Amino acid sequence: MDSRSSSSGTDSAEPPVKNFVIGSSFFRPRGRDGGHPWVVASRPDNSCVVTLNVTDAERWSDKSCIITPEQHKSLSKDSAVAYERAELERLQDLESDRRCGALIIRDKFSDQVMQDIFKGAEKTKQLKRLVRNILEDQELIGPSLEW
């Protein structure tokens, strides 16, 4: 069992939902993603949220959504949303990682950038079916005609 799954109930930290809402961004300084930013792209669904990785646009083939450094100050170069890396993450685990320093909160992505991300999610063929279904159910993207 993952040690992050247990909770003593005595922690007085902010509730995870406050830290992880649509547009919230974070990075994991010691992670498999090389410290690239992540963005929350859904409302909680069974205490989980969809997160999307943002990576180097030059090295990523899917160009459905490109975000520039002018659009978000955590970016140092043009970046692509890596839709195929989308994850469904438990709020409790994200908050636990934040508290122990394994995850660092950054500035939120603007509403306009989030709209661009959702438009890209509608276009890409790289989004996992489960993630697409959650975003459609929450009416963040339109239904796909390809499924």
State the pLDDT at residue 108.
93
Tens digit of pLDDT per residue, the chain (147 long)? 333 433 444 444 555 567 899 999 999 887 666 678 999 999 998 899 999 999 889 989 999 999 988 898 888 889 899 999 999 999 999 999 999 999 999 999 999 999 999 999 999 999 999 999 999 999 999 987 554
Identify residue 26 by its one-letter amino acid code.
F
Q: Which CATH class is domain 15-133?
A: mainly beta
Residue 25 parent element (H or E): strand 25-27
pLDDT computed for residue 99 by the predictor: 92
| C-alpha dihedral sign at 94, 100, 103, 106 | positive
pLDDT of residue 98: 92
pLDDT at 3: 39
**Domain extent listing, the chain:** 15-133
User: What helix, strand, coil percent values describe the chain, rounded to 5?
Assistant: 30, 25, 50
pLDDT at res. 29: 80
Element (H, E) at 19: helix 16-19
DSSP conformation letters of 26-93? EE-TTSTTTT-EEEE-S--BTTEEEEEEEEEGGG-S--S-EE-TTT-TT-SS-EEEEEEEEEEEEHHH
Give the predicted TM-score (pTM) of the model: 0.84
Structure confidence at residue 8 (pLDDT): 40
